[in-house]
């Protein structure tokens, strides 16, 4: 008997060898939705509507409701989401967009692809998030927008940053690619700015079985503009009328049905992430390994659990030797990468210093207490107590 697409996906996400602790294990989440997704895949195969259609529209409605916004526009990936938002707002050549430098390169990449200039900003030494002060320090007369990155699943101080952006006349955009289910003062990620941009890459809190993304907004005109731009600039209801410059950034129906199946489970999965993170925090308390700080007011979604570790590279190698997989998010600030050095003349000391310390620890919804305990025990063995002074 031939395997179904979902069975093939499950095989690709097979658990690691017994005794090893993976950085992320998607297989258990896949199994929770397997029956529902298999049935939905069959429906899509029967209809033959693989791009857009009812499945995508249904997920758009569900995601807008979850984020507390009026509109959600499904696109091909999170990078496109940012680029399309900037272009739809008329931001391009001659304009600067403030971006925290310690982000995935896609944030800066999207700014350049839109024709604008990234203006890199430093971050808080505690949370590693953009702050009102670091935003203000990056402003110039050419600044038109700021992209606030909700790094690791934690939102920045959106109340204060919104005030700075409004006073400076900046468009406020949220890069919420790591913050599905996160909040600030109870208000969901994506609902604070003029637009919120999400990725549904498979490893995200809400992940597809491939690339996918979305823009959420309360601005109807902006939403309509992005809907046209994602579909080659077509006017609504026409196949041959292309009044604006667009691109091909449409979500597959197969990805939409996966996301719709997973969405009702998202809050429970985030609660499990938070429980595992709390256990890490308790077991590492008082030791030389420090977790990145939590901001008061942030509802942390714990897409990633990031620690500050002395002698990080050696510790990471030793953890790998002990069967503990880790990640790096991100070892090189954007302003130090070759394509972006011309945009980043000034030193950004907090991001530069922390980049050599940060280590992403294993974290996923179905992680067991024993797995968390084993990781923490190994960390305590590998990092001597006196090394704590090396962590800023």
Query: What digits encode the pLDDT tens for the residues 139-164?
Result: 999 999 999 999 999 999 999 999 99
How many CB atoms sit inside 10 A of residue 381's CB?
A: 10
Tokens of 297: 């007011």
Calculate mean pLDDT across residues 43-69: 97
Tokens of 355: 């980049």
- Choosing from 204, 279, 316, 335, the catalytic residue is 204
What is the Cα–Cα distance from 284 to 290, expressed in whole angstroms?
A: 7
Contact predicate 154/294, CB 8 Å: yes
Calculate mean pLDDT across residues 92-115: 98
pLDDT band at 238 (very low <50, low <70, confident <90, very high): confident
Q: What is the pLDDT of residue 391?
A: 64
Rg of the chain over all Cα atoms, to the nearest angstrom:
21
How many CB atoms sit inside 10 A of residue 163's CB?
A: 12
pLDDT surpassing 80 at residue 17:
no
Bridge partners, 184 (sequence order):
187, 298
Higher pLDDT, 387 or 169: 169
Q: What is the pLDDT of residue 392?
A: 63
How many CB atoms sit inside 10 A of residue 4's CB?
A: 14
What is the Cα–Cα distance from 121 to 104, expressed in whole angstroms?
A: 14
Q: Is 165 helix (H, G, I), strand (E, B) or coil?
A: helix
**Sequential DSSP letters for 126-142:** TT----HHHHHHH--TT
How many CB atoms sit inside 10 A of residue 352's CB?
A: 16
pLDDT surpassing 70 at residue 9:
no
- Lowest pLDDT segment from 21-30, 184-193, 287-296, 339-348: 339-348
pLDDT band at 18 (very low <50, low <70, confident <90, very high): low
Is 204 an active-site residue? Answer: yes
Q: Which H helix or E strand runs over 199?
A: strand 195-199
Contact predicate 102/349, CB 8 Å: no
Domains, in order of start, for the chain = 44-263 (3.40.640.10), 265-390 (3.90.1150.10)
Q: What is the pLDDT of residue 3?
A: 45
pLDDT surpassing 80 at residue 313:
yes
pLDDT surpassing 60 at residue 5:
no
Convert the pLDDT of each residue in 272-295 to its tens digit: 999 999 999 999 999 999 999 999
Q: What is the pLDDT of residue 148?
A: 98
Task: Tell me if the bond preceding 330 is cis, omega within 30° of 0.
Answer: yes
What is the Cα–Cα distance from 252 to 248, expressed in whole angstroms?
A: 12
pLDDT band at 372 (very low <50, low <70, confident <90, very high): very high
Which of 13, 38, 34 is CA-nearest to residue 23? 13
Phi first, then psi, for residue 248 (nearest 5°) are: -105, 100
List Cβ neighbours of 284 (8 Å cut-off, separation of 6 or more).
290, 291, 307, 376, 379, 380
């Amino acid at each position: 008997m031939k395997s179904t697409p979902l069975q093939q996906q499950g095989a690709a996400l097979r658990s690691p060898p017994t005794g090893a602790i993976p950085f992320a294990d998607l297989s258990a989440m896949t199994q929770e939705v397997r029956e529902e997704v298999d049935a939905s895949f069959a429906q899509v195969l029967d209809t033959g509507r693989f791009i857009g259609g009812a499945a995508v529209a249904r997920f758009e409605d569900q995601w807008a409701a979850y984020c507390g916004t009026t509109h959600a526009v499904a696109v091909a990936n999170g990078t496109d989401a940012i680029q399309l938002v900037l272009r739809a707002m008329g931001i391009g050549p001659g304009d600067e967009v403030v971006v925290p430098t310690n982000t995935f390169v896609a944030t800066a990449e999207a700014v350049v692809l839109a024709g604008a200039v990234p203006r890199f900003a430093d971050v808080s030494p505690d949370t590693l998030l953009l702050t009102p002060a670091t935003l203000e320090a990056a402003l110039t007369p050419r600044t038109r927008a700021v992209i606030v990155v909700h790094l690791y699943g934690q939102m920045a101080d959106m109340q204060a940053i919104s005030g700075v952006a409004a006073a400076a006349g900046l468009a406020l955009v949220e890069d919420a690619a790591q913050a599905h289910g996160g909040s600030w003062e109870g208000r969901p990620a994506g609902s604070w700015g003029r637009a919120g941009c999400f990725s549904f890459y498979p490893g995200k809190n809400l992940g597809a079985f491939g690339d996918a993304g979305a823009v959420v907004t309360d601005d109807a005109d902006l939403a309509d503009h992005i809907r046209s731009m994602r579909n080659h600039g077509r006017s609504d209801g026409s196949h041959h009328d292309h009044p604006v410059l667009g691109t091909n950034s449409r979500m597959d129906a197969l990805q939409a049905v996966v996301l719709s199946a997973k969405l009702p489970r998202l809050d429970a999965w985030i609660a499990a992430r938070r429980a595992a993170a709390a256990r890490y925090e308790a077991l590492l308390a008082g030791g030389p390994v420090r977790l990145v700080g939590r901001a008061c007011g942030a509802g942390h979604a714990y897409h990633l659990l990031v620690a500050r570790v002395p002698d990080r590279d050696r510790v990471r190698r030793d953890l790998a030797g002990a069967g503990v997989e880790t990640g790096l998010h991100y070892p090189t600030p954007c302003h130090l990468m070759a394509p972006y050095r011309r945009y980043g003349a000034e030193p950004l000391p907090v991001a530069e210093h922390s980049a050599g310390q940060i280590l992403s620890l294993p974290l996923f919804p179905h992680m067991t207490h024993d797995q968390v305990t084993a990781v923490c025990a190994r960390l305590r063995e590998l990092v001597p107590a006196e090394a704590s002074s090396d962590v800023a």
